[in-house]
Structure 1
């Protein structure tokens, strides 16, 4: 049985490109956070302009629309969250919740601005990274618009699996604690459709559910074929 590579297909993040001097300066003015599972690291409509750096673990961005909760995205180590709201000067659109024990650093709006000013060359890289991320998101939405529910679901699981897992021996992630309702909301599908796909995959041992009700990917290559990514 093959295992997913921790860095395979994972887009390099802005934080990963920073020189050690800039990373150290950021960490020096930030507030460390040690979050347990389900801890809320940031509230929806937070207007503080704070930036969150995920150092380890996994978080999800959840937005409430009426009585419904929508999973917008999942983020692992190296992710900077809150940057769009920071640039727009507007409240955040989603709450950030720990999916597993997570270490993060919070830095205030003023401190983040001063940090950028301290490293002028980084400012251009920062804005470029935000633009690239937005374009990548648009490209993903276009590419998946005509895909089936199973294809979209497989791609989402594979994307989450790209995030490193500090709790594993080799840093590779094979499981994630997301409900089927969250998965359905993230790909814009009905819960019934997602449940049907997951049941089919469990019968074929492509995925299983462990005692923590996590989705465990047993056959990543099979998921790639379902996603239309070959291999």
Structure 2
């Protein structure tokens, strides 16, 4: 089946558009293939392209204080890269790196801006996506100053397993390989603290860890570590 005809995940830009606008978006630019490790965009470089991801995973990173890695998010099918820089006509705020083979539709920033200017519903959909990114960023900042490193790590692993987990012989394996520095950046902690937290979770038999490999063995047990017995999202507080 052609890649562009597969359903896009709910909440992504193509899924938010009506069929006619979605086809217009998918007609912009051209298909590109990015091998593992290739940088699709670089932090602080001038804007030039917007990329709609069609297949694979991309890690978005940025340099924080003292040039320390700040791992931001993982992007996958249906996500767009470079849209904020294109709209602001400014430099990229992060680096996008292929985590495995990636397929994307690359279009010029000018073509993307013209598409939004001519189609207000599409512009509104992009504004909603940007607002969601800001909301998620604020939520993460709050979580990073609340609770133990082990609890923060458990919450991150739950999110990754829910969004990008794949069935394994035992449990659910994260589809994206993450290094220790990347995990540390995700939970805003130093590597030593994250290594200790991973060892604790492994001893509790809720995760199994290898080189760039994390398998969630017991999701409910991990939720108890992350949220406690009465603080899981949607749970009661009686």
Fold shared per TM-score above 0.5: yes
Match of residue 114 from structure 1: 114
Q: How far is the alpha carbon of 1:105 from its aligned partner?
A: 1.7
Match of residue 29 from structure 2: 30
Structure 1 counterpart SS, 2:163: coil
Unpaired runs of at least 5, structure 1: 1-9
CA contact under 8 A between 2:10 and 2:16: conserved in structure 1? no
Structure 1 counterpart SS, 2:93: coil
Match of residue 136 from structure 2: 136
Q: How far is the alpha carbon of 1:67 from its aligned partner?
A: 4.7
1:1-231 alignment runs, 5 A limit: 12-65=11-64, 67-164=67-164, 174-175=173-174, 176-210=176-210, 213-228=212-227, 230=232
CA distance in 1, matches of 2:13, 2:203: 40
Instruction: Give TM-score scaled by structure 1 length.
Output: 0.82
CA contact under 8 A between 2:32 and 2:103: conserved in structure 1? yes
CA contact under 8 A between 1:174 and 1:216: conserved in structure 2? yes
Structure 2 counterpart SS, 1:26: helix
CA contact under 8 A between 1:75 and 1:163: conserved in structure 2? no
Deviations 1:128-164 (A, max 9, x none): 3312331232133224421211121112222222334
Question: How many pairs does the alignment contain?
Answer: 218
Structure 2 counterpart SS, 1:29: coil
CA distance in 1, matches of 2:11, 2:220: 22
CA contact under 8 A between 1:40 and 1:95: conserved in structure 2? yes
CA contact under 8 A between 1:43 and 1:94: conserved in structure 2? yes
Q: How far is the alpha carbon of 1:194 from its aligned partner?
A: 0.3
CA contact under 8 A between 2:57 and 2:76: conserved in structure 1? yes
The structure with the larger Rg is 2
Unpaired runs of at least 5, structure 2: 1-8
